[in-house]
Amino acid sequence: MLTENQLDPEELALEEELAKFAEAEAHKLGLGREHYTEKVNTEFWAEDRATTTIWVSGLTVAHDFLVAAALSGIGYKVVPMDGVDNESLQFGKEFGNKAQCNPTYFTVGHLVKHLVKLRDDKGMATDEIIDKYIFLTAGACGPCRFGTYVTEYRKALRDAGFEGFRVLLFQQQGGIKQATGKELGLKIDKDFGIAVVTSLVAGDVLNLQAYRMRPYEVVPGSTDLAIEDCKAILNTAFRNKNSVLRGLYRCRKRLEKVQIDRTVPKPVVSVIGEFWAMTTEGDGNYHLQRFLEQEGAEVDIQGVTNWILFMIWENKYDNLTRLELREADGSKKGLEGKNPTKTLRILAAADKAIRALFQSYAKTIGLNGYHLPDMDEIAELAGKHYDNHVRGGEGHMEVGKLVHFAMDRVNHMTLSVKPFGCMPSSGVSDGVQTIVAAKYPESIFLPIETTGDGAVNVYSRVQMMLFKARNKAKEEFQTALDQAGLDEAAYRKRVHGSRRWRKPFARPPHKVAGIAANLVYAVS
């Protein structure tokens, strides 16, 4: 290779010309410029807590309400936002990036809608809104748009005229102080963790009890009225840092007044799928839970506690894998400089603590016979069809749950809800679950996509499959009557005459999916 001194003047001139041309082209493509860094405003200090309102949103109405109450109880000024609606969707599509998934449009648009209404309807100045309000959300990673939500928020906020509005992620607030020495306004410490976890678990048991009771209420609307009273009771308990167990016991006494008749067979429909789509209660999933109840079904929802246990399981699984990486470094067990054994002990303790907390809350409110999923079992069931190493979305949980539902006769129908364009959920529901459903032909599985404007089509598909589930429940009920040697009149007379089985919290032993059929076996 010739050196620069060995090149003749013409060749040197050509080299200089080519270098200038390459630099000019790189500049046109943006390759020669300084790397873009997003300006992010996350300044929130302890001295601002009294004058700054934190908005929380994204889960069920009960969860958002109780999380806000719990955080208020530890010194924050927190307000839950109302549920997302189709107006939120329109704001999301107007100011968000194109080709986003449904939850992104709804949640991002929901925040923008609230800010626009504060500015345009209530006359607040933009600078005042940015100074006095904060939105708090959870962060994520993996092959899912949820991992880029915070960037989507900031892009939409900037385009809507609210550049600089603070959107804080849980993991952003990692320490108690920053370089300035000032105390952070949002401290992710033990008190924060306890407040969030206890309020989420309390929201779970309240929702699960409501979905158990509402399909069988004698007086329409009586369960919802009782649940509203319970939310008020728990709101007071969290805000005043009173005993949550005592609050749940008061909820139990209130719910006991609701008259229940579980003698009519109803199909049990489990709702699973993408986390936000299966959890939200509103336009984001076409009010599916309420629609199923109106069609005569009992809805089996998935609690947020399940998701917490799944995250613990993921960390445990990864640390167990580290123990086998003995050729990757000089350590005898795991990665050098790490202590996966200690981490595994902490994760095991966390799993037990969450389960104990849930069961204590469930027992107090009267949620009898409810079992949290065994995450190792779910992983084993799913592993035959979907690699446990694959992450993103709900991972292998949806696959494992469908197998579990079919094998253990948990329900009559499984409904998987996913947003249009959700990459992890689509690959599972439309691909892997087809094989699982073929292996368990007795299962009724329906995947649906939500877009915000397809309610009629979704309702029609659900009704067709629900017809099969309803017939399945009736056949199961009749088989139970035949085996017990009872007719419907004699069966109902026994139930209505039983002080035990008339109680709203009574739960017969599980033999089949439907509670009416299980009651037949119990009273016989």
Backbone angles phi, psi at 499, to 5 degrees: -65, -35
Residue closest to 415 by CA, chosen among 321, 505, 291: 291
What is the b/e burial string over 114-140, where b = at least 16 CB atoms within 10 angstroms of the residue's CB?
bbbebbeeeeeebeebbeebbbbbeeb
* Per-residue pLDDT tens over the stretch 178-196: 333 456 778 888 899 999 9
Our measurement of the distance from residue 490's CA atom to the centroid of its chain's CA atoms, rounded to an integer in Å, reads: 43
CA dihedral 323, 327, 328, 332 (to 10 degrees): 50
Compute CA distances 222 → 13, 175, 202, 213, 229, whole Å.
Answer: 88, 46, 21, 10, 11
Between CA 94 and CA 113 the distance in angstroms is 11
Looking at residue 204, what is its pLDDT? 97
Looking at residue 48, what is its pLDDT? 84
pLDDT-flagged residues of the chain (< 70): 1-7, 30-40, 139-149, 170-183, 326-335, 421, 423-424, 426-427, 429
Strand segments (E) across 100-165? 133-137
β-pair partners for 53: 133
User: Which pTM value belongs to this model?
Assistant: 0.87
Classify residue 202 by its DSSP letter.
H
How many CA atoms lie within 13 Å of 146's alpha carbon, on the beta-carbon side?
22
Phi and psi based region of residue 273 (left: phi greater than 0; alpha: psi -120 to 50; beta: remaining): left
Looking at residue 176, what is its pLDDT? 39
Which tokens go with 189?
């410490």
Strands 133-137, 53-56: pairing kind: parallel
Which tokens go with 511?
């033999």
* Per-residue pLDDT tens over the stretch 438-456: 899 989 999 888 887 788 9
Which tokens go with 218?
């004698």
Q: What angle do helix axes 86-95 and 102-120 make, rounded to 10 degrees?
A: 90
CB-CB neighbours of 501 under 10 Å: 18
Looking at residue 326, what is its pLDDT? 63
Strand segments (E) across 10-93? 53-56, 78-80
* Per-residue pLDDT tens over the stretch 414-447: 999 988 767 667 667 677 888 888 899 989 999 8
